[in-house]
Amino acid sequence: MASRKKVLLKVIILGDSGVGKTSLMNQYVRIIERNQNELSSYQHTHLWDTAGQERFQSLGVAFYRGADCCVLVYDVNNSKSFEALDSWRDEFLIQASPRDPESFPFVVIGNKIDVEENKRMISSKRAMTFCQSKGNLPYFETSAKEALNVEQAFEVIARSALAQEESEEYGGGDFGDPINIRLDSDRDGCAC
């Protein structure tokens, strides 16, 4: 029997107030409900949303501790929310202090792409340049309102969290038993 040290993966979702974090989470819950009978990495993923405290930049260390993936969200129609991504990333690295900050998985989401074209402030190109400069972070453009591209983003988020957790198990040495680690994310290799 395969066994796992930690079955619940912690994903935290950061970004300025109003960018759509809670709305994305609600869409994510719908995805889980829809996929309930499938063997899916979603099942193990627990998303941590803020309760609005991000307005005061005071989320506390318990929010960040033990995260397996960090989602950085901005609103494509709001430049300030894009410019804040860097400081949210820094805040995460300070508070969560992951073992290997260089390889820690972040995923960037530009939300509210359903809003009229002429309201858009941040181009895909600009966002992708930012993501490249931070070590090729995966980038998705979504609409939580119209459920556009949300599932695709969370598939990558869930897989990144799983990969991070597994790399920590291997790196842990003290209590890891590599033989027992099951690669749930490698669904393609399973014919059952």
CB-based closest residue to ligand GDP: 20
Q: Taking a C-beta distance cutoff of 8 angstroms, is the pair 12, 64 a contact?
A: yes
Residue 188: CB minimum distance to ligand GDP, A: 31
Beta strand pairing call for 45-48 and 106-111: unpaired
Residue 19: CB minimum distance to ligand GDP, A: 4
Residue 92: CB minimum distance to Mg ion, A: 17
Residue 117: CB minimum distance to ligand GDP, A: 13
The answer to whether residue 110 forms part of the interface with ligand GDP (CB under 6 A) is no
> What is the CA angle 86-127-110, rounded to 5?
85
Dist CA 172 CA 164 (whole Å): 12
Residues 17 to 56 in contact with Mg ion, rule: CB under 5 A? 21-22
Q: List the single partner that 112 binds among Mg ion, ligand GDP, none, CB under 5 to 8 Å by kind.
A: ligand GDP
Dist CA 60 CA 63 (whole Å): 6
**x/- contact string, 33-72, with ligand GDP (CB under 6 A)?**
----------------------------------------
Q: List the single partner that 115 binds among Mg ion, ligand GDP, none, CB under 5 to 8 Å by kind.
A: ligand GDP
> What is the CA angle 123-125-128, rounded to 5?
115
The answer to whether residue 27 forms part of the interface with ligand GDP (CB under 6 A) is no
> What is the CA angle 178-135-95, rounded to 5?
75
Beta strand pairing call for 9-14 and 45-48: parallel
**Which residues here bind ligand GDP, judged by CB under 6 A?**
17-23, 111-112, 114-115, 143-145
